[in-house]
């Protein structure tokens, strides 16, 4: 009896194994995808170089700020603004890496929560005492608060300079803007130091497939950034996709009035480069989602997902490029172009969140409950 | 066939297997509940969510805030009493009710094995599991050596249905001819020692696992029934369930099934178990003298038997209710639950909701994380009845916030078994006007695939 059953099972398996291998002969090139090389590529060629560059740009920001605080004149204001924009552009590459020290220090929430709350900024300056790390101050620090202090604190450059010179509390403004910049620099330095002194090894050696392993966490961060940081914050929320009416004052760099598109384009480049595993400082590419999906696709013989994702990101970029440099203008003149851009960004959310995650079989949440 | 029902129902069998089953069932349940609590799941799954997905007809079953812990305590104590066989009938009724209440609180957490436990505990209400080796028999100073044979057979039948129907469910073209979803699941287990980097990555292995899983489910009830294959079958049971528990996060289920299948062994085996337990508790052995009687007579057998007949008829028919619905079962999930479709498909979705003013046409999208936990959002995104219930919740919520003429539209994309995602819900249908029922949901878009999934069962 036992022999019969075993032989039936074996026979069935042999038949299946043979019949299935006929049609799709070349799918068997199942050379293992080495996930660690993906983590190493992420850490060494993307994440650490991004934080190094951000740190350098913030160093320049500190220098420019020091010059401005010492001598608040138009030339120093311009230099300060330029340094702010240079650092803000690099920030678009860093925001998605909410892992390690960045996660434990709430780094992301102290760098780019917008719109900034002017009342909070002004209250802090008036009081002269504040804890910049406190969650209540997340909307009064970082790049958006600087955006206000550099472009929106008064109307016109002369009036802005007056705030830092002739205003009765000019010293308070100078101290606050100085503290903000120093804080951004010091937070970034902490995150960078952690990466270069040990966390990098922890990161690349966490190769398992669990909810807390590197690939899973960073994939979640990546998708979260794309869906929330890019799609919703930069486009959807100001365009009114989540509210009854458009909210043009919620664009990124609202007070600057000219770079919201620049920043959004940097962000979509950051997303696509990371997806393709493109090094931050050169054009070489190595293992990332793109290659992983190709590997998995080869194994299961499905759709060419990586191409679909790249194509969709390209379409979304085209729609972003069609927008006014100042999203506030775009919303006030023709908001439909904003919502079109949102719709195209949204399509890639589906590809990331459903198709890519399913292919990689990654859990998108941290609730661990039993399955069956 | 000279099978005579009357003769069969009069047959007696040794009471030990049922007593051991009762004991192990109670212990496993108690342990499961403690584990559930220790993992913090009472809080994360039942207390912290603002909103709960209910079962049609059981909308009134809801978590009771902090008192939810009380339900778990009651359930745990009753499980312990079942194990001890103390006030057994009351204990198993309380266990069945409290456990089922817990499962009905939120269908986000639906698992086939929870349903299996509800069914088993319902069945056990009618069985004399305390007739032998129980505190009840100790206190009454009466123990029965034999019980009606059908009582043990009914448990075997239920377990057999679970396995066999799970096997039938695997008879579909995705499982057998595409090795889906194992082809997605197994390669992601690359971090397993020894087999992760080689076997798990091989296509032939995915097929081997699919087919052997199917053959296992279909054949195991029969292999367990026949004495000659029983030990072989039990070894398979242990191997299969331990293997799946290594592969998948399925909690206690594998161990519950391993322990449950012991019921198929003969009485001698169970007497050995009892002997071991007795030697462990020897120091506490009672001074009572128990009078051993021969046959336990079920007092209300003429009522119990019709109830169980209906019960099993439902068990046999319910999994086939999907035939009454049009469309692809895996896609619509109409008639999917309560049918032993275990680890059968990989399905993910992304569903967003738009609230629209019917008069002005102005609209906005909902941020699901404002209302749902990540786990709830995940489950909602690909199951139509979840989507509908949530749409009504959103409609009510925004109406009560003062929004006028509220319409709720869902845009949904779902990927099934490695296929590319495709639109799932008709986004032009105002779901706030649709009502839950057992009717087919016409606003589910048809599954587009050539060739479609074939069910062979």
> Per residue in A217-266, pLDDT tens?
999 999 999 999 999 999 999 999 999 999 999 999 999 999 999 999 99
Question: How many residues make up chain A in this entry?
Answer: 372
A305-321 vs A327-350: helix crossing angle, rounded to 10: 170
H-assigned helices in chain A:
2-23, 35-40, 48-70, 74-94, 101-104, 118-127, 142-147, 157-165, 170-194, 200-205, 214-224, 237-239, 260-276, 289-300, 305-321, 327-350, 357-360
The whole-chain average pLDDT of chain A stands at 89
Of B208, B248, B253, the CB nearest to A13: B208
pLDDT at B2: 60
A52 with A126, same domain: the answer is yes
pLDDT at A17: 41
Model confidence, pTM? 0.90
Question: How many residues make up chain B in this entry?
Answer: 457
A178 with A297, same domain: the answer is no
Q: Is the pLDDT of residue B411 over 90?
A: yes
Average of per-residue pLDDT across A16-38: 52
pLDDT band at A212 (very low <50, low <70, confident <90, very high): confident
Q: CB B187 to CB A296 under 8 A?
A: yes
pLDDT digit string (tens) for B53-79? 999 999 999 999 999 999 999 999 999
A40 with A159, same domain: the answer is yes
pLDDT digit string (tens) for B90-135? 999 999 999 999 999 999 999 999 999 999 999 999 999 999 999 9
Residue with tokens 């066939």: B1
A143 with A194, same domain: the answer is yes
DSSP three-state, residue B416: strand
Mark which of A159, A189, A207 sits at the end of a domain: A207
Compute the nearest-CA separation of B180 from chain A (Å): 9
A159 with A295, same domain: the answer is no
Nearest to A184 by CA among A219, A228, A138: A138
Q: Is the pLDDT of residue B451 over 70?
A: no
pLDDT at B193: 83
Q: CB A209 to CB B211 under 8 A?
A: no
Is residue A67 domain-resident? Answer: yes
Q: CB B212 to CB A372 under 8 A?
A: no
A88 with A200, same domain: the answer is yes
Is residue A9 domain-resident? Answer: no
Mark which of A207, A242, A263 sits at the end of a domain: A207
CA distances B153 to B17, B146, B308, Å, are 11, 14, 12
**Interface list for A 283-322 with B (CB within 8 A):** 296, 299-300, 302-303, 305, 308
Structural domain containing residue A351: 209-363
Q: CB A361 to CB B346 under 8 A?
A: yes
pLDDT at B457: 60
How far apart, in whole angstroms, are the C-alpha atoms of residue B197 and residue B187?
8
pLDDT at A302: 61
pLDDT at B215: 97
A126 with A59, same domain: the answer is yes
A44 with A106, same domain: the answer is yes
CB-CB neighbors (< 8 A) of B343 in chain A: 371-372
Q: CB A354 to CB B348 under 8 A?
A: yes
How far apart, in whole angstroms, are the C-alpha atoms of residue B432 and residue A219?
34
Is residue A5 domain-resident? Answer: no
Residue A70, domain CATH: 1.20.1420.20
pLDDT at B132: 93
Average of per-residue pLDDT across B413-440: 95
CA distances A172 to A159, A163, A164, A184, A185, Å, are 16, 10, 9, 18, 20
Q: Is the pLDDT of residue A301 over 60?
A: no
Is residue A6 domain-resident? Answer: no
Written as six digits, the tokens of A76 are 């120093």
Mark which of A207, A222, A254 sits at the end of a domain: A207
Compute the nearest-CA separation of A341 from chain B (Å): 15
Rg of chain B's alpha carbons, rounded to an integer? 25
Compare B194 and B255 and report the one with higher pLDDT.
B255
Is residue A25 domain-resident? Answer: no
A170-194 vs A118-127: helix crossing angle, rounded to 10: 110
Q: CB A209 to CB B190 under 8 A?
A: yes
A189 with A234, same domain: the answer is no
pLDDT at A178: 98
pLDDT at B286: 61
ipTM for the predicted complex comes to: 0.87
Average of per-residue pLDDT across A95-108: 96
A76 with A173, same domain: the answer is yes
Q: Is the pLDDT of residue A1 over 60?
A: no
A179 with A60, same domain: the answer is yes
Spans of all domains in chain B: 8-321, 346-433
pLDDT band at B227 (very low <50, low <70, confident <90, very high): very high
Task: Give which of B107, B199, B209, B415 to mutate to test A binding, by max A Cβ within 10 Å.
Answer: B415
Is residue A1 domain-resident? Answer: no
Is residue A87 domain-resident? Answer: yes
CB-CB neighbors (< 8 A) of A17 in chain B: 204, 207-208
CB-CB neighbors (< 8 A) of B424 in chain A: none
CA distances A167 to A108, A148, A149, B321, B440, Å, are 32, 16, 14, 78, 70
pLDDT band at B171 (very low <50, low <70, confident <90, very high): very high
Q: Tell me A31's DSSP state.
A: P
Average of per-residue pLDDT across B342-353: 94
Average of per-residue pLDDT across B354-373: 95
pLDDT at A209: 80
pLDDT at B190: 83
pLDDT band at B249 (very low <50, low <70, confident <90, very high): confident
Compute the nearest-CA separation of A14 from chain B (Å): 9
Domain count, chain A: 2
Of B39, B201, B413, the CB nearest to A32: B201
DSSP three-state, residue B421: coil
Percent share of chain B, pLDDT over 90: 83
Q: Is B222 on the interface with A (CB under 8 A)?
A: no
Percent share of chain A, pLDDT over 90: 81
- Cβ count near B44 (within 10 Å): 16
Q: Is the pLDDT of residue A181 over 80?
A: yes
Average of per-residue pLDDT across B289-294: 83
A186 with A301, same domain: the answer is no
β-sheet bridge partners, residue B351? B412
CB-CB neighbors (< 8 A) of A354 in chain B: 348-350, 413-415, 421
CB contact set of B197 (below 8 Å; sequence gap of 6+):
A32, B190
Q: Is the pLDDT of residue A208 over 60?
A: yes
Q: CB A370 to CB B228 under 8 A?
A: no
Least confident of A18-32, A137-151, A181-195, A322-336: A18-32
**Contact of B440 with B327, CB cutoff 8 Å:** yes
């Amino acid at each position: 009896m036992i022999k019969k059953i075993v032989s039936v099972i074996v026979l069935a398996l042999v038949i299946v194994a043979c019949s299935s291998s006929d049609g799709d002969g070349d799918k068997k090139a199942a050379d293992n995808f080495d996930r660690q090389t993906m983590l190493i590529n992420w850490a060494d060629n993307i994440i650490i170089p991004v934080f190094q560059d951000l740190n350098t740009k913030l160093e320049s920001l500190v220098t420019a700020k020091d010059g401005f605080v010492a001598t608040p004149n138009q030339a120093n204001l311009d230099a300060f603004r330029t340094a702010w924009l240079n650092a803000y552009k690099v920030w678009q590459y860093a925001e998605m890496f909410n892992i390690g020290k960045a996660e434990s220090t709430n780094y992301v929430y102290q760098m780019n929560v917008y719109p900034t709350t002017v009342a909070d900024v002004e209250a802090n300056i008036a009081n002269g005492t504040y804890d910049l790390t406190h969650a209540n101050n997340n909307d009064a620090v970082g790049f958006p608060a600087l955006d206000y202090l550099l472009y929106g604190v008064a109307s016109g450059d002369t009036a802005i300079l007056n705030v830092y010179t002739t205003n009765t509390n000019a010293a308070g403004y100078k101290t606050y803007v100085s503290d903000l910049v120093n804080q951004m620099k010091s937070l970034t330095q902490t995150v960078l130091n952690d990466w270069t002194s040990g966390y990098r090894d922890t990161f690349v050696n966490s190769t398992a497939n669990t909810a807390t392993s590197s690939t899973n966490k960073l994939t979640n961060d990546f998708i979260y950034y794309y869906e929330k940081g890019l799609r919703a914050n930069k486009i959807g929320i100001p365009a009114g996709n989540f509210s009854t009416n458009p909210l043009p004052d919620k664009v990124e760099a609202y007070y600057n009035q000219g770079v919201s598109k620049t920043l959004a384009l940097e962000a979509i480049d950051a997303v696509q480069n990371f997806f393709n595993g493109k090094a931050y400082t050169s054009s070489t590419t190595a293992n990332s989602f793109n290659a992983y999906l190709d590997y998995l696709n080869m194994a299961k013989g499905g759709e060419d997902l990586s191409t679909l994702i790249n194509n969709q990101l390209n379409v979304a970029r085209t729609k972003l490029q069609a927008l006014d440099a100042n999203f506030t203008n775009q919303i006030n003149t023709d908001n439909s172009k904003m919502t079109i851009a949102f719709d195209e960004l949204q399509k890639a959310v589906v590809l990331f969140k459903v198709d890519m995650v399913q292919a990689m079989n990654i859990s998108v949440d941290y609730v661990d409950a039993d399955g069956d | 066939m000279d099978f005579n029902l009357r003769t069969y129902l009069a047959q007696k069998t040794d009471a030990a297997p049922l007593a051991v089953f009762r004991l192990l069932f109670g212990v496993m349940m108690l342990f499961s509940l403690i584990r559930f609590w220790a993992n913090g799941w009472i809080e994360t799954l039942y207390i912290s969510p603002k909103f709960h997905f209910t079962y049609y007809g059981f909308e009134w079953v809801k978590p009771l805030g902090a008192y939810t812990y009380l339900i778990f305590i009651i359930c745990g104590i009753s499980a312990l009493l079942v194990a001890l066989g103390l006030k057994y009938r009351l204990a198993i009724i309380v266990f069945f009710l409290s456990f089922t209440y817990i499962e009905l609180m939120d269908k986000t957490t639906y698992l086939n094995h929870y349903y299996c436990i509800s069914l088993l505990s319902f069945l056990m209400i009618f069985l004399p599991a305390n007739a032998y080796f129980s505190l009840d028999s100790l206190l009454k100073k009466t123990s029965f050596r034999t019980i009606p044979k059908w009582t043990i057979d009914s448990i075997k039948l239920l377990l057999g249905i679970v396995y066999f129907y799970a096997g039938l469910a695997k008879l579909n073209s995705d499982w057998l001819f595409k090795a889906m979803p194992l082809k997605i699941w197994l390669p992601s287990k690359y971090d397993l020692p020894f087999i992760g980097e080689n076997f798990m990555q091989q296509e032939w292995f995915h097929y081997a696992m699919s087919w052997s899983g199917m053959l296992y489910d279909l054949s195991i009830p029969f292999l367990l029934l026949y004495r000659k294959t029983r030990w072989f079958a039990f070894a398979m049971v242990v191997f299969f369930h331990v293997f799946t528990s290594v592969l998948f996060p399925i909690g206690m289920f594998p161990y519950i099934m391993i322990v449950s299948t012991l019921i198929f062994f003969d009485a001698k085996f169970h007497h050995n178990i009892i002997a071991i337990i007795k030697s462990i508790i020897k120091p506490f052995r009672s001074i009572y003298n128990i009078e051993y009687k021969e046959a336990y007579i079920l007092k209300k057998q003429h009522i119990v038997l019709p109830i169980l007949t209906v019960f099993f008829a439902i068990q046999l028919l319910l999994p086939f209710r999907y035939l009454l619905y049009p469309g692809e079962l895996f896609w619509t999930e109409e008639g999917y639950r309560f049918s032993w479709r275990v680890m059968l498909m990989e399905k993910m979705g992304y569903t967003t909701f738009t609230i629209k003013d019917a008069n002005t046409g102005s609209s906005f999208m909902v941020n699901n994380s404002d209302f749902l936990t990540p786990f709830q959002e995940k489950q909602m995104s690909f199951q139509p009845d979840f989507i509908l219930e949530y749409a009504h919740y959103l409609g009510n919520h925004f109406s009560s916030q003062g929004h006028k003429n509220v319409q709720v539209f869902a845009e949904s994309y779902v990927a099934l078994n490695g296929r590319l995602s495709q639109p799932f819900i008709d986004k032009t249908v105002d779901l706030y006007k649709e009502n839950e029922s057992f009717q087919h949901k016409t606003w589910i878009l048809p599954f587009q695939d050539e060739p479609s999934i074939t069910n062979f069962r």
